[in-house]
Structure 1
């Protein structure tokens, strides 16, 4: 499960950086690298979205770990 968590975290970070670039500079790094809404860029966007949904589970797991330590 650790590898899946790390992969999801990396994808969420990539997505956050891309959204930051869009917000601050109107620059879409994924579109520049892979083409505007090409099949591959759509896969990247989809994977980042799925990773973001999966990362929501980090919140519950963090609370569980803290409660067990106390």
Structure 2
């Protein structure tokens, strides 16, 4: 198995932990914008990989998204 980026731990309704409206404003206007940290609905993203002990090869991968309080 080859994983480059599983995800992030942070607010689900955000862009890499930043409020979406700030990121969109920056993208649309191409002007500097203060990035405000998003809040609420924090989740942990991860994967679980089952490996064959004889070959060392991945035989299953499971995606996980765990809500955090």
Fold agreement, TM-score > 0.5: no
Larger RCO, structure (CA 8 Å, separation 6 or more): 1
Larger Rg: 2
**TM-score where L is the length of structure 1:** 0.26
**TM-score where L is the length of structure 2:** 0.27
Relative to its length, the structure with more helix (as a share) is 1
